[in-house]
Amino acid sequence: MESITIEKIQNWKRNKKKFSAITAYDFSFAKLFENAGVPIILIGDSLGMTIQGHTSTLSVKIKDMEYHTKLVRKGAPKTFLLSDLPFMSYYEIKQTLKNTAKVIQAGANMIKIEGGKWLIETVKELSNRSILVCGHIGLTPQSVHYLSGYKIQGNEKNDEKRIIEEAFLLEEAGIKMLVVECIPALLAKKISKNLSIPVIGIGSGKYTDGQILVMQDLLGMNEGKKPKFAKNFLHKNGSIQDAIKKYISEVKKGIFPNEKYSF
């Protein structure tokens, strides 16, 4: 696989070529995912739940993100790496720049931050320093208490209008990619169609430019209640490698997510 750059991802958007992404947190899975052809890996603060066993992402520290980014980069030297800045690690610009430097020096190509209007000046400051930024709107897990849990966003007219406005403001401020989580498919379609930057969906229907899943959801590793949008690709495939290739293929062809896995 050739090294993946932001320019390539932007070209996929322009050429209407759908692409896949997945979370990873260690060397072994990162290597497996790169060999299978996954172009984008997110080192997510979801590791607070999937790796550390907490009930939310709020306990994750910047040192955790730095550590796991290093591991993933060793396993996936050519993949485009996104790294989350965790809860309260980007509330003021001096702190944001310091923490951004840590994850980029650990191997990230781009940082991801959650939020809307309040992040505009932060995004501008990062972009002015040639730092690639990915926005994240809709369901933002770091705001789980404020949102009263993990549930769909953008159902109400005012909420829909706010999310659309946030998407445009963040693009204008300088983000080069956007994640939309748990919003209605038609709202995600409207955002993806009208932004010039790549839009990646999770639980947001099939109309986004790309799709991302948490690796544990994709591989059916989570017991009990699972998100509506989580499809177990390992269930009917013989190996993890086959499951990942099936996921990549279904996203490229627009098969996943269908209505069953959308809002």
Q: Contact at 8 Å (CB) between 117 and 166?
A: yes
Average pLDDT, the chain: 96
Which of the 8 DSSP states describes residue 221? -
Query: Is residue 89 one of the residues assigned to a domain?
Result: yes
**What CATH number should be reported for the domain holding residue 155?**
3.20.20.60
Instruction: Give the H or E element holding residue 200.
Output: strand 199-202
Query: Is residue 205 one of the residues assigned to a domain?
Result: yes
Rounded to whole angstroms, the Cα distance separating 170 from 151 reads: 23
Q: Specify the pLDDT at position 149.
A: 86
Kindly report whether the peptide bond that precedes residue 141 is cis, defined as omega within 30 degrees of 0.
Answer: no
Annotation says 156 is catalytic: no
Query: Is residue 103 one of the residues assigned to a domain?
Result: yes
Rounded to whole angstroms, the Cα distance separating 199 from 184 reads: 14
pLDDT tier at 156, thresholds 50, 70, 90? confident
Query: Is residue 244 one of the residues assigned to a domain?
Result: yes
Q: For residues 157 and 98, which has the higher predicted lDDT (pLDDT)? A: 98
* The model scores a pTM over 0.95: yes
Query: Is residue 1 one of the residues assigned to a domain?
Result: no
Q: Which of 66, 125, 181, 250 is catalytic?
A: 181
Q: Specify the pLDDT at position 49.
A: 95
Q: Domain residues for 255?
A: 6-261
Query: Is residue 47 one of the residues assigned to a domain?
Result: yes
Instruction: For 93-138, write each residue's pLDDT tens digit.
Output: 999 999 999 999 999 999 999 999 999 999 999 999 999 999 999 9
Looking at the 3D structure of the chain, how many domains does it have? 1
Q: Specify the pLDDT at position 222.
A: 80
Rounded to whole angstroms, the Cα distance separating 204 from 212 reads: 10
Instruction: Give the H or E element holding residue 42.
Output: strand 40-43
Residue 223 pLDDT exceeds 80? no
> Of 118, 49, 111, 56, nearest to 84 (Cα)?
111
